[in-house]
Amino acid sequence: MKVRVRFPDGTVKEYEASEDKSLVEIDSRFRDYVVAKDLDTGQLFDLTVPVDGHKNIEVLTFEHPEGREVFWHSSAHILAQAVKRLFPEAKLTIGPPIENGFFYDIDFGGKTLTPEDLERIEQEAYRVIEADYPTRREEWDSQYAKEFFRERGEDYKVMLIEEFGEPKVSVYWQGEFVDLCRGPHIPRTGLVGAFKVLSVSGAYWKGDENNPQLQRIYGISFPTKEQMDEFLHMYEEAKKRDHRVLGRQLELFDFYDEAGPGLVFWHPKGALLRSIIEDYSKKKHLERGYQLVQTPHVLRTKLWEISGHLEYYRENMFLVEAGDETYGVKPMNCPAHILIYRSRKHSYRELPIKFFELGTVYRYEKSGVLHGLLRVRGFTQDDSHIFAAPEQIEDVVLDVLELMKEILGKFGFDRFDIELSTHDPGNMDKYMGSPEEWSNAQNALENALRRAGLEYRIAPGEAAFYGPKIDVQLYDVLGRKWQCTTIQLDFNLPRRFGLTYVDRDGKEKTPVIIHRAIFGSVERFIGILIEHYAGDFPLWLAPVQVSVVPVSDKFMDYAKKVEQELKSRGFRVYLDDRKERVGYKIRDAEVKKIPYTVVVGKREVEEGTVSVRKRKEGDLGAVPIEKFIEMLKEEISD
């Protein structure tokens, strides 16, 4: 048979081959690629397994997103092999690729890894790489696989096989090491040119604190040392920007064990920062015709039964017994907004109706997955539910996308990675709504993206059962991607709750609900902002914009006058009246990333000026107070 192979540079070559031959056997040069992809089905498969009917193939390198994922997953196996050589009693769990690298969760039986252990593991990983072991996939009977791993003390692998519930499982060999894995993998360990163990942290099996505690070893790998050097430079920069560290340093927020994990306590400066962000968001929503609503934090479980959350989301909900009734602390705002819509009849002339709420919700996230502000149990969504006629979807979504660009652009984000999740037309049994509804809705979303001038990619078959959606990831200053804006069409809840509007023909029709959030979560967005700006917020956003420092107590009255004048003009000011040296106060303002410090002493009192210091730029000289105010206004305006 003929096998048609497309290479990364776009060239295509045909090979004569039999189905029992692998690409590596057909041409040894395929050993230098990462993985193969069937262009007809989208399926990835190993370069070392028989071609087996794959006739139209693309070979991928590390530069391809899917190739990179396979490369990093294979590197997790290299890490595990190194660990098992050094710590034979260690029990392996799972080792997936992540956005930047990979990790492997391992049970070391109570041992805590030291920095010296991590260095030894990295050195051993390089020995695995230098050996250039070929990888080999085998399919085993599940019962045999369970006995094989049980004999070797790999209890977690046995549990995984039992969970799979499949008659056969696949394993991968490289040298003496074998691991349970669906694959695919790189053809040989020597493709990894640079390998680094980054860190270790605690984790729980399946993220559940009631399960055994594991150690999660994070790593990164690349085909070349140059790529590794570039990454490590960015990695160190990212560590300096860690929002958890800066949040405490800048006195923005904290977490307290006594209160429970994943629950954020906003300190005065953090609460002020949050208020600035939320007020700006409210203002922009009101300008575009959204109506503010406010809904309760707890609702009867009957409502969650109707919405389907109690059936499908119960394990993530906080349920409360009150007398002889049960209430659910809301994990989402949609049922509450639906009740407001349903409280009276609506005409097509009113649509679209756009409800907006900064609604706080609570979800029981497993403690093992909590991460600063980025993954919490209590958070506030900038949540909107738009009730629209089907023919309005395109214009409504376009308006949401324009609002997204305006709001996120204000914070310095103008580069996005956008995915449109669509249905699988060959499997309509999975979805609510008719094929026509799906086709029209997806066309509307795609047209809106085009009209907004946004690039996007389609993810076939990735839509939820109740409607297609748009997911937007923004890029920060380090080029990292963060999930924020989501626009989700919903054919399901309007039917479940019996929502209607009276159309032009006088008949009752069912509206579409468009769930959408711009920030996604205010907490998460602030975490992203802290890392994007490294805590060094632009003047308009800084919780404290100006620190006023008197040279001594003799000039305190003038310092208070400067403070009041700035406050009366709407600026956020801190009067540093501590009994400390002036130099200490100036350095402290720099550490706390306050944009401006003004120093006042004898000369400033006599001349009615302030000596201005700008963060990172230093002394700007003495200027009249009014001129300084104009400087601040101009910077904020810009």
Same domain flag for 488 and 565: no
Distance CA(395)–CA(348), nearest Å, equals 15
Q: Are residues 384 and 516 in the same domain?
A: yes
Q: In this predicted structure, what is the pLDDT of residue 373?
A: 95
Identify whether residues 486 and 602 lie together within a single domain.
Answer: no
Domain that holds residue 311: 296-329
* Residue 572 zone, left/alpha/beta (φ > 0; ψ -120 to 50; rest): beta
- When pLDDT is cut at 50, 70 and 90, the band that residue 53 belongs to is confident
Rounded to the nearest integer, the mean pLDDT of the chain is 94
pLDDT in tens, 527-556: 999 999 999 999 999 999 999 999 999 999
Residues in CB range of 37: below 8 A, 6 or more apart: 43, 44, 45, 57, 58, 59, 60, 66
In a shared domain, residues 514 and 560: no
Average pLDDT of span 350-365 = 95
Cβ atoms of 562 and 600 within 8 Å: the answer is yes
What is each CA distance from 446 to 350, 456, 489, 520, in whole angstroms? 25, 9, 13, 21
Q: What is the pLDDT of residues 257-286, one digit of tens each?
A: 999 999 999 999 999 999 999 999 999 999
Task: Find all residues with CB under 8 Å of 551, minimum gap 6, and list them.
Answer: 582, 599, 600, 601, 602
Query: Which of the 8 DSSP states describes residue 207?
Result: G
Q: Check if the beta carbon of residue 513 is closer than 8 Å to that of residue 387.
A: yes
At which of 481, 505, 533 does a domain end?
533
Q: What is the pLDDT of residues 94-118, one digit of tens each?
A: 999 998 999 999 999 989 999 999 9
Same domain, 102 and 216: yes
Residues 589 and 497 in one domain: no
Are 516 and 617 contained in the same domain?
no
Distance CA 78, CA 104 (A): 10
pLDDT single digits (tens) 240-263: 999 999 999 999 999 999 999 999
Question: Residue 638: pLDDT above 90?
Answer: no
Do 413 and 476 fall within a single domain? yes
Cβ-contact 29, 117 below 8 angstroms: no
For 438-459, the pLDDT digits (tens) are 888 899 999 999 999 999 999 8
Q: pTM of the predicted model, to two decimals? A: 0.83
Active site residues: 334, 363, 381, 383, 385, 469, 515
Task: Please tell me whether residues 484 and 374 are part of one structural domain.
Answer: yes
**Above 80 in pLDDT, residue 420?**
yes
pLDDT in tens, 194-203: 999 999 999 8
The pLDDT assigned to 367 comes to 78
**Cβ 621 vs Cβ 610: under 8 Å:** no
Q: Do residues 50 and 114 both lie within one domain?
A: no
**Segment 592-610, tens digit of pLDDT:** 999 999 999 999 999 999 9
What is the per-residue pLDDT for 546? 97
- 287 & 420 share domain: yes
Outline where 87-185 has alpha helix (H): 115-131, 142-151, 155-164
Q: Where a domain ends, among 533, 559, 591?
A: 533
Q: What's the pLDDT score for residue 539?
A: 96
Are β-strands 168-174 and 101-107 bridged in parallel, bridged antiparallel, or unpaired?
Answer: unpaired
Instruction: Say whether pLDDT at 430 is over 80.
Output: no
pLDDT for the residue 52? 84
In this model, does residue 132 exceed pLDDT 90? Answer: yes
> By the 8 A CB rule, do 517 and 382 touch?
yes
Are the C-beta atoms of residues 442 and 422 closer than 8 Å to each other? yes
Torsions phi, psi of 389, nearest 5? -75, 150
As to burial, measured by CB atoms within 10 angstroms (0-12 exposed, 13-18 middle, 19+ buried), residue 21 is: middle
Beta bridge partners of 416: 474
Query: Which of the listed residues 239, 256, 272 is the one where a domain comes to its end?
Result: 239
pLDDT, residue 309, reads: 84
Q: Which residues contact 455 (CB under 8 A, 6 or more apart)?
A: 418
Give the model's pLDDT for residue 462. 86
* Residue 541 included in any domain: no
Res 287: pLDDT: 96
Contact status, residue 257 vs residue 265, Cβ threshold 8 Å: no
User: pLDDT band for position 15 (50/70/90)?
Assistant: confident
pLDDT at 369: 80
Residue 368 pLDDT > 80, yes or no? no
pLDDT at 428: 81
Q: State the average pLDDT over residues 178-183.
A: 96
Residue 247 lies in a domain: no
Per residue in 454-491, pLDDT (tens digit) is 999 998 888 888 889 999 999 999 988 999 999 999 98
448 CB-near residues (< 8 Å, 6+ apart): 393, 394, 395, 397, 398, 401
Hey, CA dihedral for 62, 66, 72, 78, is it positive or negative? negative
Q: Are residues 476 and 567 in the same domain?
A: no
214-242 burial code (b ≥16 CB/10 A, e <16) = bbbbbbbbbbeeebbeebeeebeebeebb
Q: Report yes or no: 595 and 545 within 8 Å, Cβ to Cβ.
A: yes
- Is 461 inside a domain boundary? yes
pLDDT of residue 425: 83
- Which residue has better confidence, 435 or 418? 418
Query: Tens of pLDDT along 497-530?
Result: 999 999 999 999 999 999 999 999 999 999 999 9
pLDDT at 409 over 80: yes
